[in-house]
Structure 1
Amino acid sequence: MKDLHTLEHRTLALAGIYQAASLVDQIARRGDTVESEMATLIGSVFRQESESVVAIYAGDNLPAHVALQRGLRTMLEAISTGKHREITRYAMTLVQLEGKLGKHVSLLDRIGSGISDSADQVRYFGMTHENVLARLADLY
């Protein structure tokens, strides 16, 4: 990927983390989530070889900033008003875990292989089907 360190890319990457944390919070509290918002994140797992962070999060006919609207809004509210403290804790924990995981190349390779193997399931079942989600959960 090129230009990973632009403000836009950093903002979108952090918005993706905030969106994931927000969806986890919603699932934990209410037992449901918005499928399109979840699909954006699941789709990003399968687009790691993209040219940019924008391409990783861009959905079907949606630019990344629209697909990550929930994450961007949650992050902005957390920064400007102090709301969403629990979600911010989740997000920062994800950042810390990513840092630890990045030090284990063999584990990253195994996860990458599992993601590649899961691509067939995505084509057959769809991005947010329970079989796909279960297989991805097993990888992590």
Structure 2
Amino acid sequence: MAKKDTYEMTLAFAGICQAAHLAQQLARHGRCPEAAYHCSLRSLTHPLNGTGGALAFFGGDEAALRFGVETVIAVLNTPAQKGALADITRYSLGMIGLERKVTKNTQAMSDLEQRLRQLDRQLQHFGIDSSTLASSTASIYTDIVSPLGPRIQITGEQAILQNSLVQSRVRAVLLTGVRSAMLWQQCGGGRLQLLFSRGKMVEMAKLILSGLPHVDA
């Protein structure tokens, strides 16, 4: 596999992993890293076949995908997974599975594209953190993606998951993961790559991280 192909595929998979990790954080803590959340939501309005490749899909900034790239390494580099990491892997595979359902359904794809255009217009009037935008994004997932099943069972704190805003944000990030899975397929990704190219993707993820500005804890 060419280095450029591995780079594109790793970024796309980072989008999926980022969405899964955001969902896990929201379900367990009611909050998540803001920069990663903003990056994932904004990717919904970028065309899948636009210029600039996978990086442009995520706003043209590798640093905005740091959370996802770090998660790629954790997911692909840990053979025996338990707890939070196992949940993130399950969510990621669930979104990849849902992407196949949506892509094969012509009506669902048409409806999704139309609703995302409406979402783009809403972004002109509402902030990226607004409950209105989260609700609108969540409704796209609920109306179009989720009915195609199988549904992704999110585990977390019951009291937190009963919060309507948290529910909306979880569904919103799941939608971003499904769309990142569309990009992943477009870049040549698939289950075979997860089996046979995971080492190359981990190496690429580490290379991407090494080039990002250092963040003090």
TM class, shorter-chain normalised? 0.7 to 0.9
Which residue of structure 2 aligns with residue 37 of structure 1? 36
RCO higher in 1 or 2 (8 Å CA, sep ≥ 6)? 2
Q: More deviation in 80-89 or 128-137? A: 80-89
Task: Work out whether residues 42 and 128 of structure 1, in 8 Å CA contact, stay in contact via their aligned partners in 2.
Answer: no
| Counterpart AA for 1:70 | F
Matched, 1:94 2:91: no
Return the offset for 1:23.
0.3
For residues 92-140 of structure 1, the C-alpha deviation after alignment (integer angstroms, 9 at most, x for no partner) is 1100110111111111111111111122211111223211111111112
Q: More deviation in 126-135 or 95-104? A: 126-135
| Counterpart AA for 1:21 | A
Distance 2:90 2:56 in 1: 27
Distance 2:118 2:130 in 1: 15
For residues 26-50 of structure 1, the C-alpha deviation after alignment (integer angstroms, 9 at most, x for no partner) is 0000011122211100110000252
Matched, 1:23 2:22: yes
Distance 1:27 1:119 in 2: 24
Which is greater in Rg? 2
Return the offset for 1:73.
0.6
Q: How does 1:1-140 map to 2 (within 5 A)?
A: 6-48=5-47, 49-51=49-51, 52-58=53-59, 63=61, 65-82=62-79, 83=81, 84-140=85-141
How many residues are matched? Answer: 132
Distance 1:100 1:113 in 2: 18
4+ long deviations beyond 4 Å:
none
Secondary structure, counterpart of 2:31 in structure 1? coil
Distance 2:106 2:72 in 1: 30
Secondary structure, counterpart of 2:124 in structure 1? helix
Q: Aligned residues: percent identity?
A: 27
Q: Which runs of 5+ in 2 are unaligned?
A: 142-217
Distance 1:41 1:105 in 2: 24
Secondary structure, counterpart of 1:101 in structure 2? helix
Secondary structure, counterpart of 1:72 in structure 2? helix
Please report the TM-score for the alignment, with normalisation by the length of structure 2. Answer: 0.58
Return the offset for 1:9.
1.0
| Counterpart AA for 1:18 | C
